[in-house]
Amino acid sequence: MNFVALRMLTGDRAKYLGLIFAIAFCTFLLENQTSIFASILKRTGSQIIDVTDADVWVMDGKTEYFEQTKALKDTDLTRVRGVNGVEWAVKLFKGYPVARTRAGKFASCILLGLDDATLTGAPRKMLLGSWERLREPDSIVIDNAGYILLYPDEPLELDRELEMNDHKVKIVGISDASAPFLSSPVIHTRYSEAVNFVGHERTELSFVLVRSQPGVNAEEVCRRIEAQTGLRARTTDQFRWDCIVYYLKNTGIPVNFGITITIALIVGTVVAGQTFYLFTLENLKQFGALKAIGVTNWRLTGMVLLQAFVVGLMGFGLGTGMAAAFFEATLRKIATRGIILMWQSVTLTGGCILFVVIIASLLSIRRVIVLEAATVFRG
């Protein structure tokens, strides 16, 4: 009976291919949009993930995400260092100066000022040069995308000069920093240099980076810091999720992507369901003949489900292949770097396609079950 069901399915090639491409299109849209959505949200915490030395971030009590900072007092660093369970704590500065090339090309940058003594948070993925050269005066490390933005169509080259707030700075390294949410160059330098590039203010300390002592849970250290200092302390993972939640709650990103994903699901369900239902109607005489020779309703139901799942599996495989090809083609482009096909999206889409297949087959199953065997002898 399974062979008969498959022969019935592939008998009309046009409808068979139409079913497969309807599912494939639905799969492609769902995997494409959910992966892009997740990857873009992941970018909101890119600079947090890049700091691999520390496991706790300390900030002002009202700070909600990375881009929103209120400067701390210098004494806050000492207070954090005095908390039980803290192995070490260093300062981090974050600012947004404008970098300008000699040719006049300029861009607003994400400037991260690292502790002068330890350079904690320095980029470890270097394409050219060394982050240790940050100890040189007026030196910076710029990310690859930022370099290309400021020096389009030019080869990577060290010791070039930029101007930031009337200060000439020298590029001593080019890093492979994670892509930020906005397409701004990511620049690392020493703390003392960074505050000069941006301009001195009364308070300048953006974050305190903390490493918890071995054997002490980072979340416990956060609770101790908050209780003792009144500041907000978050683990690296918690702070990254704070950024994601903030953008989910306060921007139109989830609405825009949600509309596309919903339309893809509705279109896939309606088109596949209608096409599969029409396919079943055209094969009612064959089902009636099978009933006439004694095939049970359960067996006929199994045949319909087999047809639906074969179409769903083939469409899902084709759509996933299309999505994988899309992300492979865009992975190495600067603007879309880091945007990949996520296994979570594939799994979620698989569940959605299973739902589409079940909905598409329900009406067909009902029509087959209520079919009278005598239908085959009419006309």
What are the extents of the domains in the chain?
2-43+252-377, 73-230
Sign (positive/negative) of CA torsion 256, 262, 263, 264?
Answer: positive
Residue 379 pLDDT exceeds 60? no
Q: Are 282 and 12 spatial neighbours (Cβ–Cβ below 8 Å)? A: yes
Rounded Cα–Cα distance for residues 335 and 313 (Å): 33
Note the pLDDT of residue 349. 86
How many residues are recorded in the chain? 379
Q: Are 140 and 150 spatial neighbours (Cβ–Cβ below 8 Å)? A: no
The predicted-structure confidence for 73-99, as pLDDT tens digits, reads as follows: 989 999 999 999 999 999 999 999 999
Note the pLDDT of residue 201. 67
Work out the pLDDT band at 151, boundaries 50, 70, 90.
very high
Note the pLDDT of residue 233. 95
Rounded Cα–Cα distance for residues 122 and 375 (Å): 77
Note the pLDDT of residue 5. 62
As a whole number, mean pLDDT of residues 31-60 equals 90
Q: At what angle do helices 236-250 and 253-282 cross, to 10 degrees?
A: 70
pTM of the predicted model over 0.75: yes
Work out the pLDDT band at 4, boundaries 50, 70, 90.
low
Rounded Cα–Cα distance for residues 75 and 85 (Å): 19
Rounded Cα–Cα distance for residues 110 and 283 (Å): 64
The predicted-structure confidence for 290-316, as pLDDT tens digits, reads as follows: 777 777 777 777 777 887 888 888 989
The predicted-structure confidence for 111-125, as pLDDT tens digits, reads as follows: 999 999 999 988 888
